[in-house]
Structure 1
Amino acid sequence: MAKDHGPSVKDDETYEALREDGASKQKAARIANAQASSDMSPGEKGGKQPPYEDWTKDDLYTRAQELEIEGRSDMDKSELIEALRNS
């Protein structure tokens, strides 16, 4: 039986499985909540944005700033991409 993670996590079993696989608390909650919602399909291809590799470093930095990724000012383009994908 999955532990109750409170009202902010809609699918406790998925959350725990993702945490065991090494996902951050934020990422695990985001995925677990998307899977619990009948109008979301997290397994399907996402939006219309181009891949991060096609973004400029400035655009990547701006997105990292929006997500409050620490250490972003010292990152090069590939590090920004990795940080964004892991956030």
Structure 2
Amino acid sequence: MKHDISTPLKVIARAPFHVYYEGAALSLSAFNEVGPFDVLPGHADFFSVLAPCEIIIDNGKDKEPVRFDIRNGILTVRDDEVMLFANM
């Protein structure tokens, strides 16, 4: 699939019994064992085990980004769809 950086990401961020965020986003910021990273539209397919961190999702609509803390997690990016499974 050809990536288009003008098309927002589709993000689902959830824990076993809670949905933190579901919708479009301009970016998602997280942290793994290598350090902080950002996912933007057009990002290469990606898989990461997340370290304890604050997740930041900029949906481009609210003045402040969506923020929440996680203990651990798994993040996948495929064709501008981001799945984050936290606190497992």
Greater share of strand: 2
Greater share of helix: 1
TM over 0.5: no
Q: Which has the higher contact order (CA 8 A, sep 6+)?
A: 2
